[in-house]
Structure 1
Amino acid sequence: MWLFWLLTALTCRVQAKAVFAHFMVTNSENYTLADWESDISLAVTAHIDAFALNIAVGDTANSQLANAFTAADSLDFKLFISFDYAGNGAWSQDEVYDILSEYIDLDAYYITDDQPLVSTFEGPANAADWTYLKEYFNCMFIPDWSSLGAKAALELGTADGLFSWAAWPWGDTEMNTYTDASYIQYLDDLPYMMAVSPWFFTNLPGYNKNWLWRGDHLWYERWNQVLFLDPPFVEIISWNDYGESHYIGPLRDYAFAAFSIGEAPYNYADEMPHDGWRAFLPYMIDLYKEGTATITQEGIVAWYRVNPKTACDTGDTSGNTASELQLEFEPYDIVDDEIMYSALLGSTADVTVTVGDTELTGAWTSTPDGGIGIYHGSVSFSGLTGDVTVVLSRDGASLATVAGKAITSDCTDDIENWNAWVGSALSSATVSATPALSVSDQVCVNGTGWENFEGICGFACEYGYCPVSACTCNLMGAQKTAPNATGVEGYPIAGEDASYDGLCSYDCNHGYCPPSACSTVSAALSTPTVSDFTLPRHRYGSIPAPASLVHNLQYHLHTKLCRPNSHGPPFSLAFSGRYYGGSSPTPVKK
């Protein structure tokens, strides 16, 4: 009997996966109880498990916490507190104690592994406060201390896990998972909270914020990366941060205070809904949490900017930001004039896009393995303006139509709006389609790597060998049959380091041995002092730093803080393991 109870107790303590949405409480100051109930109902429909309630010290909107917990309790939804140490300054230990004392024991407070979850936005200087707070409240503490990076954050000794704010790509590149990999390495078996975000644009001079990060295909890409990395927690940034354009919740005109307080040149969220980004969340969240999901209703989501990228003044917006020690670009150099679309389908279908009087035949750039799941693609609208219509059809019959906002060269105050318009439409017909393989039985079938790793990662990842320390997996699927093993032993070329080792071993053995990275002759390897996966950086607006400099994590300072001299940590990654011969790869299954 004692063994039964022991096994039962251990089973109960298995950490269930969960998806949260970052909720800016400061934007809820004018909410009624009905508004909270509305937002929570939408989150429940999207299969989101909880709101992470971001609260800044001294914010009068914090009085809304009572309404939030009342609404959550009535709708069987969960909430947890995320203390913002950047917005209005640091929280004192006593202030945190008072807030947690009031809410942490409520039924609607989120519990994981028998402990209430607490998070932060920044605040590593106050890490010592959490020694007492954790002991008193028996909470699981998973802060965002991205300004330090994983290694230094863990060395503070109080975090039970870590949340990384790195959710956006650099420059004109697509999103990679190198920052995630560094966290996973240092956390070892501790929980990692992975950030997912659809967009980023802010123009709030009052907060010293005015930049754009590329978001064109980000919402689709990042969820595929979640499936591959399989973290215990995912946090969507955000539900309602309108000032940074990454909201997935509804627009509320009485929640737009950031635009006046932040001295925005115009309200770039007005009439720019993002609700469509929630349309396929039930499927993706179920796929992430359960490994499988069933499609009962097909549909399509489309998003795009409503101004051609060189139509009007940039508004002094930069692509990337020197405040994050990044090399800056003109914003029009990092985004494309494209209409992006994703479709949730039980079998292949066609997509047609019309801009004004011009009809464009869409194509899928990515399709789900086995044909069931999310398809993705885009078409260029360069040189075109007018009303936008996106039609999903099969065998000539329309399934769903998105009637979008017009693309125009007439900009508000002659300033580009770098925000996205998002729309969605679902088919009226019901279907029942489930992918043949669970995610746990899938491997990477499409991947890439930074610079010199692009080719060797692209080859290896296609056949399931996709080490997260060196490569980014773009798509999961059934194991493919690799080219026959040749018996050729591959090594990194002279002067490279062990990050190439496993990839060269695998690739050369299967017939791909590019001389720019790999050789069949063993050579002395270098000992890297920085990561191979660094990016060019700016140091407070000076000349571009060499690419060999340590990469600053793409850590974003929101609300009311801008620290142009903030420094990130050394970006250290585990080396990829060496692959030793054989006729089949060592797939990375999740």
Structure 2
Amino acid sequence: MWLKQVLPVLAALMGKSMVDAKAVFAHFIVGNVQAFSQADWETDIATAQAAGIDGFALNIAAGDTSNGVSVQKAFDAADAKGFKLFFSFDYAAWGAWDKNAIVSYINTYKGRASYYLQGSQPLASTFEGPDNATDWFDIRSSTGAFFMPDYSSKGPQWAVNSGVVDGLFSWDAWPDGASDMTTATDQLYKNVLGGKPYMMPVSPWFFANVYNKAWVWRGEDLWYDRWQQVLQVQPELVEIITWNDYGESHYIGPLWDSEMGLFVSGNAPFNYAAGHPHDGWRLFLPYLIQQYKTGSATISQEGLSTWYRLNPNTACTADVTGNDPAGHGQQYVDPALVLQDRVFYSALLGSSATVSVSIGGVVQQGTWENVPAGGAGIYHGSVPFNGGTGQVVVTISRNGVTISEVLGASITTSCESGIENWNAWVGSATGAAPSLPGTTITTSTTSTTTSSTTTTTTPPGQQVCVSGVGSGNYQGLCSFSCSYGYCPAGVCTCTAFGTQRAPPPSTGQKGYPLAGLPDRCSYLGLCSFVYDHGYYPDTACSSDPAGASGC
């Protein structure tokens, strides 16, 4: 009954979402590239284009005297390459921006072919700066800008209540402590924005030990998880954090020797980006971005991406905290608990294959923790170090034939300056055309809204969510409901799509959140669904309609 009622709504919404313009950007720290020539800019732009990225969000700090020359080169290069750019004004690095300077930058470049327009308006963003939010009434009036700031320190409700935003970008791209990332914050933004566009952050890693920033957040499965969450949430825009922020270790662009001065000026104990390429994280971006934009993508070549840390987590002096107790007010967690001693790998495959990992010549048979529905798509998993050191070799094979193999850097207990390097080493390798040439994978492209304004996702055709997870009190609810095609984003995370399973017969019983339950309105749809199908979790739901009061 539930599926019959919701499918017409899904179909209507699906048709709408497919015509909405979507784009993927990478956050680019302009202050790092003072030595760049226009040719250098063109090289990075070509590399980004090959990965399917539409443009750079140009982070420029107030008072940086190199901005003018660098920005001119950037736009000249982008014009030449058919690439898009927009400004992200950084209010945190060197202080607040003067609004007249912002007006000058936008008006100078908004007419360039390479300036990205949201609709017909030049897009502008920020890194923080909520104390100067009212300046943007005049800036928008003087430039016609479409304003999508990052005001994460204040939160989306504050930002929307300011009355000055046209949409929002969130900087909340990493999980807290020894846990994995969820879509809870993304869903909060979308709910608060009420239809205004949301730019969703995606990042692969975080480790900083520079400029008085010294902490780690969990990465590891993040690059895989976050793109699956993009497919689920379907934001209007995506911004990758970052292209070239080496100090925070979340770069996906190439390493440039000329960009490493921050490790000296920022008093880092050593250059922890050197010898730690992240290029392998770009390997599957064309496939993922095409999935996000159109709902389907073609596998033309199989491949493998793998990442891990070169120092086991107790090898040397940590020199950082897990979480950021000072700047973000988070609870301290031992960094050895936040980041795990494991080799992580993802493979884009046309059909199932096996994975093995050798560390110092000791071979482990790997497993897939995530398998795409239908057998074609991105597989993901990991294996533990098991105390091993030495060269890492990750091999993907099918029927005894090697598809792709990465000969990786060695794991070692020897640390530079005796200090742990928490950065990731990333490698990748491509293979031949898949065993099913031209395989097209259909993925989630739309959402439907329940009475609690959470969303569920259903891919086109016959595929729906067939497995999902939730944390804490949502665990049992998500496990039950996601297996039958109802998997509300923000509280549940779908882990597999497949053919619709018939849910248990409708009972006609109405379910509501327990009165007094924290964030009880987020349980509305789940409680209604599980009660109607005979599952009665007494820690979350009841038959008392008082629990829905005010939702």
Q: Scaled by the length of structure 1, what TM-score is found?
A: 0.84
Give the drift of 1:424: 0.4
- Counterpart residue number, 2:544: 522
Question: In the alignment, what sits opposite 1:508?
Answer: 531
1:19 aligned onto 2:24: yes
Aligned length, in residue pairs: 515
CA shift at 1:504, angstroms? 2.3
Classify the secondary structure of the residue corresponding to 2:276. Answer: coil
Cα distance in 2 for partners of 1:459, 1:351 equals 30
* Match of residue 492, structure 2, among 468, 471, 475: 471
- Structure 2 gap ranges (5+): 1-15, 446-458
Pair 130,501 (structure 1): closer, same or farther in 2 beyond 3 Å: closer
Candidates 105, 121, 139, aligned match of 2:111: 105
Partner secondary structure for residue 216 of structure 2: strand
Question: Residues 495 and 526 of structure 1 are in contact (CA less than 8 Å); yes or no, is this contact kept in structure 2?
Answer: no
Compute the displacement of 1:360 (Å). Answer: 0.6
Instruction: State how far apart, in whole Å, the 2-side matches of 1:141 and 1:523 are.
Output: 41
- Measure, in 2, the Cα distance between the counterparts of 1:475 and 1:77: 34
Mapped partners of 1:148, 1:84: distance in 2: 16
Which residue matches 1:546? none
Change (3 A) 1:229 1:170: same
**How far did 1:464 drift?**
2.1
Tell me if 1:480 matches 2:484: no
Change in CA separation of 1:19 and 1:437 when aligned onto 2, cut-off 3 Å? closer
Are the structure 2 counterparts of residues 276 and 461 from structure 1 closer, same or farther at C-alpha, using a change threshold of 3 Å?
A: same
Q: Aligned-pair distance for 1:526? A: 9.1
Does 2:111 match 1:90?
A: no
Distance 2:465 2:66 in 1: 45
2:55 to 31, 50, 63: 50
Check whether the contact 1:299–1:344 (CA below 8 A) recurs between aligned residues: yes
**Which residue of structure 1 aligns with residue 425 of structure 2?**
421
Paired residue type of 1:173: S
Q: What are the superposed Cα offsets for residues 214-248 of structure 1, whole Å, 9 maximum, x if unpaired?
A: 00100000001100110110000000000000000
**Aligned amino acid, residue 44 of structure 1:** Q
Note the C-alpha offset of 1:357: 1.7
Matches within 5 A, 1:291-306: 291-306=295-310
- The equivalences for 1:159-170 within 5 A come to 159-170=165-176
1:185-232 CA-to-partner distances (Å, cap 9, x unmatched) read: 11111000000000000011xx22100000010000000110011011
Aligned to 2:451: none
Give, in angstroms, the shift of residue 513 of structure 1: 2.4
Q: What residue is the counterpart of 1:115 in the other structure?
A: 121
CA positional deviation for 1:261: 1.3
Aligned Cα root-mean-square deviation (Å) = 2.0
The runs of 5 or more residues in structure 1 that have no matched partner are 1-10, 529-574, 576-590
Question: Deviation at 1:476?
Answer: 4.3
* Counterpart residue number, 1:566: none
Partner of 2:44: 39
SS at match of 2:297: coil
Q: How far apart, in 2, do the equivalents of 1:476 and 1:506 lie?
A: 19
Pick from 351, 354, 359 the counterpart of residue 355 of structure 1: 359
CA separation in 2, counterparts of 1:59 and 1:436?
46
Matches within 5 A, 1:485-500: 485-493=506-514, 495-496=516-517, 497-500=520-523
The TM-score, its normalising length taken from structure 2, stands at 0.89
Matched, 1:229 2:233: yes
Residue 315 of structure 1 is matched in structure 2 by 319
Q: 1:96 to 1:495 in 2, by over 3 A?
A: closer
Whole-angstrom CA distance in 2 between matches of 1:40 and 1:299: 23
Q: Is the 8 A contact 2:513 2:548 kept in 1?
A: no
Determine the C-alpha separation between the residues in 2 that align with 1:103 and 1:435.
39
2: CA distance, partners of 1:140 / 1:59? 24
Q: 1:445 to 1:170 in 2, by over 3 A?
A: farther
How far, CA to CA, are the matches of 1:351 and 1:400 in structure 2? 10
Q: 1:79 to 1:493 in 2, by over 3 A?
A: closer
**Is 1:146 aligned to residue 169 of structure 2?**
no
- Shift in Å, 1:433: 1.1
The alignment status of 1:255 with 2:259, answered yes or no, reads yes
Task: Tell me, yes or no, if the aligned pair for 2:321 and 2:332 is still in contact at 8 Å.
Answer: no
Match of 1:458 in 2: 479
Cα 1:130–1:45, aligned 2, differ >3 Å: closer, same or farther? same
- After superposition, residues 209-288 of structure 1 pair within 5 angstroms as 209-288=213-292
Query: Given residue 544 of structure 2, which amino acid in structure 1 is its aligned partner?
Result: S
Between the aligned partners of 1:501 and 1:397, the Cα distance in structure 2 is 50
Q: Secondary structure at the match of 2:306?
A: strand
Q: Is 1:66–2:72 an aligned residue pair? A: yes
- Shift of residue 517, structure 1, vs aligned partner: 2.5
Distance 1:279 1:516 in 2: 43
Query: What is the CA distance between 1:457 and its match in structure 2?
Result: 1.6
Alignment of 1:512-551 (within 5 A): 512-519=535-542, 521-522=543-544, 524-525=546-547
Give the drift of 1:341.
0.5
| CA distances 1:254-283 after superposition (whole Å, capped 9, x unpaired) | 101221111111111100000000000000
CA contact (8 A) 1:228 1:476 kept: no
Q: CA deviation at 1:489?
A: 4.1
- In the TM superposition, residue 470 of structure 1 has moved relative to its aligned partner by 3.1
Q: CA 1:106 to 1:162, structure 2 compared with 1: closer, same or farther past 3 Å?
A: same
Instruction: Determine the C-alpha separation between the residues in 1 that align with 2:234 and 2:387.
Output: 41
Query: Do structure 1's residue 342 and structure 2's residue 346 form an aligned pair?
Result: yes
Q: Give the corresponding residue for 1:412.
A: 416
The answer as to whether partners of 2:207 and 2:422 remain within 8 angstroms in 1 is yes
Aligned residues of 1:224 and 1:476 also touching (Cα < 8 A): no
- Answer whether contact 1:224 1:475 (CA < 8 A) is retained: no
Confirm or deny: 8 A CA contact 2:321 2:333 kept in the other structure.
no
SS at match of 2:506: coil
Contact 1:15–1:112 under 8 Å retained in 2: no
1:378 lines up with 2:400 in the alignment: no
> In the TM superposition, what is the alpha-carbon distance from 1:463 to its structure 2 partner?
1.9
Aligned residues of 1:239 and 1:249 also touching (Cα < 8 A): yes
CA separation of 1:323/1:523 partners in 2, compared to 1, >3 Å: closer, same or farther? Answer: same
SS class of match (2:100): helix
C-alpha distance in 1 between matches for 2:296 and 2:112: 32
Offset at residue 124 of structure 1 (A): 1.6
Alpha-carbon shift at residue 129 of structure 1 (Å) = 1.9
Higher RCO by CA contacts (8 Å cutoff, separation 6 or greater)? 1
Q: Shift of residue 323 of structure 1?
A: 1.6
Matching residue of 2:134:
128
Q: Shift of residue 401 of structure 1?
A: 0.6
Separation in 1, partners of 2:23, 2:442:
24
2:8 is aligned to none
Paired residues for 1:548-563 under 5 Å: none
Cα distance, 1:327 vs structure 2? 0.7
